[in-house]
Amino acid sequence: MGLETEDLRQIDALVGHRIRLRKGEALYHAGDRFTALYAIRIGSLKTAVPAGEGREQVSGYHMLGDIIGLDGISTERHGCQAMALEDSDVCVLPFERIEEMARAVPPLQQNLHRLLSKEISRDQGVMLLLGTMRAGQRLAAFLISLAERYKQRGYSSTEYVLRMTREEIGSYLGLKLETVSRLFSRFQNEGLIRVQGREVKLLDPVALRQRVGQRA
Amino acid sequence: MGLETEDLRQIDALVGHRIRLRKGEALYHAGDRFTALYAIRIGSLKTAVPAGEGREQVSGYHMLGDIIGLDGISTERHGCQAMALEDSDVCVLPFERIEEMARAVPPLQQNLHRLLSKEISRDQGVMLLLGTMRAGQRLAAFLISLAERYKQRGYSSTEYVLRMTREEIGSYLGLKLETVSRLFSRFQNEGLIRVQGREVKLLDPVALRQRVGQRA
DNA sequence: CGCGGATTTGAACGGAGTCAATCCGCGTGG
DNA sequence: CCACGCGGATTGACTCCGTTCAAATCCGCG
């Protein structure tokens, strides 16, 4: 996901400019011409793929250090929309310049490949979640994955604030918002978490993790 | 998905050796060390990611010209298993050599990036399928996608032989094998297709395509 | 020719969706 | 300052699609 500090310095060398986004503002839309990748420096974004008839599915939640836009390379057009979930700041990484530098700097080339491959692995994880897990397992997996990502970034791994609505979480997990809401309540009753609106505290991460692997 | 003839010639230059696979034989397993990508020259393979407790989910069906193994780059280990669905032949493309050549030959570099990005787009399509579609829509989408891929390769786009069992198809689509079987029967009763075992004929591709987009 | 895996089909169950009512929190304007 | 409005969240009742369990049949292959 994120890159090492060493690599960040390399990245800095090819940064174009920065873009400020207000909450709810789109960085790009599905169908827009692809020219660059974007590194998140402040805030968080969701990506959503069009699902016909104006509907859409949330395909990812991205935070500090994440690099987005990778799916646009093949068609030269973005396949999804990226929207700020809060006021955010992203760096523009012109892709042509990335390719140039990747040719000259092998470690950067490797990082790029790893980045792309990691995204593939991430997507496979989501496919597994959507294809084989029950609703409760999905939400548990989601909460744990968030915890791990916050931890990596130096934040608390047991307490965080959701940036997405119940509906967006549901869309991401292939569930309806009512189901997500009910599961939050159930997890709270079972003493696994404490929820209040978007504030979440994981009271029993171990039990939560077990939930992911079991058939209930 | 596949590459142009021009590119295939480039690829040929970096081919290692060939591997012959018998039906049911694995090209690699999840956890195996990653060293190369593989181009399918004859036959077809499925990829499957482990899903805990010996279970697994089919994550892809790959045929002539497809290149597999992309998810192993980031961790240097394969994240899934690749198994031949029939006697097959694959070319080994040592990844180190690919990276070398990509540095020297920009068009090859671009192809590699496109390849990786295309895989991400494909996965997003599957996520959409698993996250938003009903069972009937999923199978219809699957049948159509197969038709398109066969067409691209010069085969009939309305008549083909499934290489996967009902169970494997179900696993790929997030359904149980009984559901897949029932849907085949229903589609046949509705005059959309003709099925006999693994032989499928699309009688009304247009209606089938409509099925994907509607809420039933 | 017979075995075993794959497929089909039926009946009953249950988990998540749908529809609907209510509540909560927050920004906005009177 | 506070009442109002509105989007988001919660909760309940009921429905329905896909699963589960079970049995029968088909079929490829040794």
Predicted confidence (pLDDT) per residue in A80-127, tens digit? 999 999 999 999 999 999 999 999 889 999 999 999 999 999 999 999
How far is Cα B119 from Cα B68, in angstroms, rounded to an integer?
A: 9
The CA distance from B209 to the nearest CA of chain A, in Å, is: 13
How far is Cα A101 from Cα B176, in angstroms, rounded to an integer?
A: 48
Q: How far is the CA of A93 from the C1' of C21 (A)?
A: 49
Q: How far is the CA of B212 from the C1' of C15 (A)?
A: 24
Both tokens of B68, joined, read 């597999």
User: pTM for this structure?
Assistant: 0.91
User: Which chain B residues are within 8 Å of A70, Cβ to Cβ?
Assistant: 116-117, 120
Most confident of A6-15, A33-42, B206-215: A33-42
Mean pLDDT of chain B: 92
Residue A167's CB: how many other CB atoms inside 10 A?
15
Both tokens of B42, joined, read 């004859």
Q: Which nucleotide is nearest to A165 (CA to C1')?
A: D8
Give the whole-number percent of chain B exceeding pLDDT 70.
93
Which residue has its C-alpha nearest to nucleotide D8's C1'? A165
pLDDT for position A5: 62
Provide the residue type at B8 as one letter.
L
The CA distance from B79 to the nearest CA of chain A, in Å, is: 7
Average pLDDT over residues A59-74: 96
Of A72, A121, A130, the CB nearest to B79: A121
pLDDT above 70 for B4: no
pLDDT for position B24: 93
Work out whether the CA dihedral B167, A118, A112, B13 comes out positive or negative: negative
User: Which chain A residues are within 8 Å of B172, Cβ to Cβ?
Assistant: 131
**Tens digit of each residue's pLDDT (9 = 90 or more) over B44-101:** 999 999 998 788 999 999 999 999 999 999 999 999 999 999 999 999 999 999 999 9
Q: How many CB pairs under 8 A join A and B?
A: 136
Of A71, A104, A120, the CB nearest to B70: A120
Where residue A17 falls among pLDDT bands split at 50, 70, 90?
Answer: confident
DSSP string, A119-186: HHHHHHHHHHHHHH--HHHHHHHHHHHHHHHHHHTTS-SSEEE--S-HHHHHHHHT--HHHHHHHHHH
How far is Cα A34 from Cα A71, in angstroms, rounded to an integer?
A: 9
Mutation for A interface: B113, B118, B173, B175, most A CBs within 10 A: B113
Q: Which nucleotide is nearest to B138 (CA to C1')?
A: D18
Give the end-to-end CA distance of chain A in Å, rounded to a whole number.
30
